[in-house]
Structure 1
Amino acid sequence: MSFGGQTPTIVVLREGTDQSQGRGQVLSNINACLAVQSTVKGTLGPYGGDLLLVDENGRQTITNDGATVMKLLDIVHPAARILTDIARSQDAEVGDGTTSVVVIAGEILREIKEHVEQGVSSQVIIKGLRRASTMAVNKIREIAVNTAEANQRDTLLKLAATAMSSKLIHRNADFFTKMVVDAVLTLDQEDINEGLIGVKKITGGALQDSLFVNGVAFKKTFSYAGFEQQPKSFTNPKIVCLNVELELKSEKDNAEVRVEQVSEYQAIVDAEWKIIYDKMEACFKTGASVVLSKLPIGDLATQYFADRNVFCAGRLASDDMERVCLATGAKVQSTCSDIREEHLGTCAVFEERQIGGERFNFFEGCPAAQTCTLVLRGGAEQFIAEVERSLHDAIMIVKRAIKNRSIVAGGGACEMEISAYLHGYADEKVPHKQQTIIKSFAKALEVIPRQLCDNAGFDSTDILNRLRVEHRKGNRWAGVDFVGQGVANNMEKFVWEPALVKINALQAATEAACLILSVDETIKNQESQQPQGPQRGLPPGAAQRALRGRGRGMPRR
């Protein structure tokens, strides 16, 4: 129905709602994602730099770990946030390659930006990208080398060393690769739960002072008077683990007990003491030399056990208690009245030792050891925290490599081989307009070796040309040689990565690019708009402002 030949304006959305749509919106989203890419691409590779991130509370984090950067960046642009979420999924799924996902996804968007500007439909581009991604993944599976028959430990050491090559600890890679592989091989190989690898951080000392404990180690718990009289070392001790409080408690608030005479009051007091003494005697009669509890063990119990040459520790953290039970075979008891022989655990050696400025309890030589502990040393807290992040990535790589024995060469070799394959395939077998999309995808993959060269200070144009020539000759594992500043066979140089990491990174990057391209309208409610957020039709220069707190060494203003 019309009024005077004019269609009436229908207001559906609340006044003040921001609507951005069309090609300009897609380009705005691409620019925001390129801003995220430019933030993290400098951290890629063995010579990548670190980022100093300062949060709103002034807490500093120095890292080049992609997952940590994505977590700490305060991003307000909704499309850029999609990219960071998909990148973090790579960390959850594989544990490494987060930076690669962001860099590849950003470069795919950069390459197809020209097609968007020329008016090519987003759906045509998405279809082409998905086709290219499928062919790339199939090619990786085809060229991957199976290491099932090789020495497993040697393969895992080389994979862990490659994962650490871009980390802060790469100078001590030999020391830490052995530690990481030993840690993962300690776990149950059917269900490798990396959460059972305890990590304890102690400031002071050198990196080489870090320890691998084939068992459990934890910081000395809160202790009462009489603790120093307890023995601090046992051989083949019996261990009892409790979830029981061995402490005299004051009455609850507003508690009331009415008594007629003093003897009745004394009977109540005696009953309280009898209860706790019965608990302590029950623990002692088990023959246990070490008593651990999640709940407090008070001064009375501490002195009682000290007089009988028994070690006790209360207020033990739940994760430490879980790992002690796994390692020693003990079972947590919620009562002291029925502790049997099969509920006790044991280990070869229990010892309390001084590590730096802290005292630690060590349970070593455990019979059922399906857990271990890494005690990390270093000069500053931020330094040790970055070491922990580096080891986490290496542990995840080793974990995936045990379950998936296929490997490829790193240093940009895999990406260059796929790029050369896709260029040839597009020229021969894709006659229509999807050819340019596949070629753009192939060109985008070259960003990995190019960025590796840029971060190392090499001539990226020269090395990329040499890599293209080598791959056209059929040298599929030719990649960037960081030692000789040129080109080398990275499979022979033992620069290895699990094929799963490459496959997952490509799939995640393609998924991120397709998702961002499919968004051609953004509706923001007035309440959810933030004054720092990007404006409609964001130009490339202004895209950088979509990141709050970005910048190396620059605190957020």
Structure 2
Amino acid sequence: MEFQEEKIASRRDSLPYPEALSANADAIRELAEAVQGTLGPKGLDTMLVDERGGVVVTNDGVTILKRMEIQHPAARMVAGIARAQQEEVGDGTTTATLLAAALVDEGLKQVNRGVPAAKVIAGIRRGIRYALEQMQDMAQPIWDLEDEWLQRIAFTASREQEDITELVIEAAMLVGRKKLLDKDFRLSDAVVAHPRAESEVFAGLFIPRREMNLKSPEPAPEIRVLPVAGDLRPERVDEGSLSTDAGFAKQEKLKEEFEQLIVKLIDLDVGLIAVEGEVDPQADERLTEAGIRVAHQVNRQDLDRLAEYTGARLLRPTSFNRSREELASLTGRCEQVEDSGRLGWFRVTGGHGKPFATILVSAATEEVVEERERIAKDAAAAVQAAVRGGFLPGGGAVELALARGVEAFGDTVQGMEVYGVSAVAAALHRPMAQMVSNAGFNPLEKVEEVKALQWRQSSSSLGLDCDRGVVSDMVDMGVVDPLPVKYHALQAAGEVSTAILRIHTVVKMRRAEAERLR
């Protein structure tokens, strides 16, 4: 999908509206086509191939969008909202992409009919705002982690893999509802994967590290933990200064201060030091002899989690000039540290800080374990989203019901903004239509059949059974989705589609300016 800069340059230096809008819509349509086949229970996988022959097979929308080559700037904007969807709620990226593409398509149709773009944009915003309000009113809350709907949501999000469903639900139980409601906590971050590990859930952390000394500390009822940001090495003066007496003396002083620091750490009786960067070899050797485990090159995010789990403060070596008592008060506590050498991780359990759970997922090969890790993260994100916001009927049923509501709302809108509201109603048909198509049925026929029955029965939960091709109640079938996933997908799609519809002209940037922005 390449942005045809050469073609633009050969005709003119810019594309005017609506030619620019048409070109943007075409690019976004191509982007949506790359992920639409993965949607729904009958969605298939996509194979991503790099120039060296590397292969990734997945049906995860955000993975496809992250790894595929996207050159067109408007398509990049839509891919960006899909990534934002993943970061915000961890699922629903394909739905967000399809809704954005449908909104741009429907908006383009109205502009081509002669409706002013400003009126279309205003109408889309009104329609999206109304749909989001109605969506919130439809949601059913989840008050108990033992609610059977939570199990069903995990099962659906885990692509109906029972082992992953059980692992995610167990982890949710371990951390508790209060932790799941914490806006800074993401259960999906608790997922780690390795092809040579046994799948399990435990209360604690599994932290990757580059290197760890092999000598085990003496058993103790409680282990002090010290997470260190940056390197654990003596400061060095620049090479030019070393040739002078003053520079050499300064370097020797820095070494002496570092040695005193190591003595202070040993006196603290710390059992584990986890370092973000490099560790001085001599210091590592002395700490090992003192029975202290030292983990090298630990990811900063993992260090933050270790500090929170053990109740420690993340410190820099420059902070070690505090008194022994002050440093001791800033260390964390845990009950056990186990190094799993062949996996390249260490396990920390019995932390005295905030609760954490780890979901360890295994598989037969590197390729398969990567996909299972993505699936487990999706399931964990879906469970947390449902606890935070409740759930709605899935299978595209709620979007179709919202489309009916938006159509009725459009009858109350005066002026040309009604055409933008109509664009929202039409776009909301897209998720179910795509799922029906992926299941091998005629979307025009089946969507209208569902729509008619929804209206006749005043139901927002009727959808299509993709196995039998008959209209069924999605809630009765156990097909439900978390409200935050649906809400954020529609909200993000509305934002990016109106931003694209506002683009009046596409102008080729000067090469020097373009290179500066890259």
2:194 counterpart residue number: 202
2:308 counterpart residue number: 326
2:4 counterpart residue number: none
State the Cα distance separating 1:278 from its structure 2 match: 5.1
Q: Does 1:141 align with 2:139?
A: no
1:181 equivalent among 172, 179, 198: 172
1:363-388 superposed Cα distances (whole Å, 9 cap, x missing partner): 11212134444433233334333333
1:351 counterpart residue number: 338
TM score, norm. by length of structure 1: 0.74
Matches within 5 A, 1:75-474: 75-148=70-143, 150=144, 154-165=148-159, 170=161, 172-178=163-169, 181-182=172-173, 185=176, 187=179, 189-194=181-186, 197=189, 199-204=191-196, 209-219=198-208, 221-223=210-212, 227-231=213-217, 235-241=221-227, 253=239, 255=242, 279-294=261-276, 296-297=278-279, 300-301=282-283, 304-305=286-287, 309-332=291-314, 334=317, 335=320, 338-340=323-325, 341-353=328-340, 357-404=342-389, 406-426=390-410, 429=412, 438-472=421-455, 473-474=457-458
Partners of 1:188 and 1:370 within 8 A in 2: no
1:52 counterpart residue number: 47
Judged with a 3 Å threshold, the aligned counterparts in structure 2 of structure 1 residues 55 and 212 are, in CA distance, closer, same or farther, namely same
Judged with a 3 Å threshold, the aligned counterparts in structure 2 of structure 1 residues 299 and 413 are, in CA distance, closer, same or farther, namely same
Partners of 2:189 and 2:377 within 8 A in 1: no
3-state SS in 2 of match to 1:375: strand
Unaligned runs of 5+ in 2: 1-8
One-letter amino acid matched to 2:157: A
Aligned-partner Cα distance in 2 for 1:113–1:190 = 41
1:137-164 superposed Cα distances (whole Å, 9 cap, x missing partner): 232233222334x557655444333333
1:29 counterpart residue number: 24
One-letter amino acid matched to 2:484: L
3-state SS in 2 of match to 1:396: helix
Partners of 1:279 and 1:337 within 8 A in 2: no
Aligned-partner Cα distance in 1 for 2:332–2:83 = 39
CA RMSD of aligned residues (A): 4.1
3-state SS in 2 of match to 1:378: coil
One-letter amino acid matched to 1:127: A
Judged with a 3 Å threshold, the aligned counterparts in structure 2 of structure 1 residues 347 and 25 are, in CA distance, closer, same or farther, namely closer
Judged with a 3 Å threshold, the aligned counterparts in structure 2 of structure 1 residues 502 and 515 are, in CA distance, closer, same or farther, namely same
Partners of 1:230 and 1:305 within 8 A in 2: no
Partners of 2:229 and 2:300 within 8 A in 1: no
State the Cα distance separating 1:409 from its structure 2 match: 1.0
State the Cα distance separating 1:452 from its structure 2 match: 0.9
3-state SS in 2 of match to 1:53: strand
Judged with a 3 Å threshold, the aligned counterparts in structure 2 of structure 1 residues 241 and 489 are, in CA distance, closer, same or farther, namely same
Partners of 2:168 and 2:380 within 8 A in 1: no
Aligned-partner Cα distance in 2 for 1:217–1:147 = 29
2:3 counterpart residue number: none
Judged with a 3 Å threshold, the aligned counterparts in structure 2 of structure 1 residues 416 and 516 are, in CA distance, closer, same or farther, namely same
1:100-137 superposed Cα distances (whole Å, 9 cap, x missing partner): 12212222343454444333333333333333323322
1:65 counterpart residue number: 60
3-state SS in 1 of match to 2:90: coil
State the Cα distance separating 1:474 from its structure 2 match: 1.4
Partners of 1:105 and 1:510 within 8 A in 2: yes
Aligned-partner Cα distance in 1 for 2:235–2:78 = 54
Aligned-partner Cα distance in 1 for 2:418–2:131 = 15
Partners of 1:216 and 1:373 within 8 A in 2: yes
Aligned-partner Cα distance in 1 for 2:234–2:113 = 79
Aligned-partner Cα distance in 1 for 2:175–2:209 = 26
1:47-92 superposed Cα distances (whole Å, 9 cap, x missing partner): 3222223345655443332223333333333333333333333334
One-letter amino acid matched to 1:330: A
2:465 counterpart residue number: 481
Partners of 1:233 and 1:352 within 8 A in 2: no
Judged with a 3 Å threshold, the aligned counterparts in structure 2 of structure 1 residues 233 and 245 are, in CA distance, closer, same or farther, namely farther
State the Cα distance separating 1:31 from its structure 2 match: 2.2
State the Cα distance separating 1:38 from its structure 2 match: 1.6
Higher helix share: 2
Aligned-partner Cα distance in 2 for 1:439–1:506 = 15
3-state SS in 1 of match to 2:477: coil
State the Cα distance separating 1:281 from its structure 2 match: 4.5
Partners of 2:21 and 2:501 within 8 A in 1: yes
3-state SS in 2 of match to 1:146: coil
Judged with a 3 Å threshold, the aligned counterparts in structure 2 of structure 1 residues 172 and 452 are, in CA distance, closer, same or farther, namely farther
Aligned-partner Cα distance in 2 for 1:240–1:157 = 38
Aligned-partner Cα distance in 2 for 1:43–1:329 = 43
Judged with a 3 Å threshold, the aligned counterparts in structure 2 of structure 1 residues 183 and 391 are, in CA distance, closer, same or farther, namely farther
Partners of 1:18 and 1:526 within 8 A in 2: no
Judged with a 3 Å threshold, the aligned counterparts in structure 2 of structure 1 residues 389 and 251 are, in CA distance, closer, same or farther, namely same
State the Cα distance separating 1:183 from its structure 2 match: 7.0
Aligned-partner Cα distance in 2 for 1:289–1:392 = 32
Comparing 491-500 with 361-370, which one deviates more in the overlay?
491-500
Partners of 1:16 and 1:526 within 8 A in 2: no
Q: How many residues align?
A: 495
Aligned-partner Cα distance in 1 for 2:260–2:113 = 84
State the Cα distance separating 1:438 from its structure 2 match: 4.0
3-state SS in 2 of match to 1:75: coil
Judged with a 3 Å threshold, the aligned counterparts in structure 2 of structure 1 residues 342 and 57 are, in CA distance, closer, same or farther, namely same
3-state SS in 2 of match to 1:488: strand
3-state SS in 2 of match to 1:491: helix
Judged with a 3 Å threshold, the aligned counterparts in structure 2 of structure 1 residues 183 and 38 are, in CA distance, closer, same or farther, namely farther
1:174-209 superposed Cα distances (whole Å, 9 cap, x missing partner): 23432552576484744433299355442346xxx2
One-letter amino acid matched to 1:237: I
One-letter amino acid matched to 2:436: C
State the Cα distance separating 1:93 from its structure 2 match: 3.5
State the Cα distance separating 1:45 from its structure 2 match: 1.8
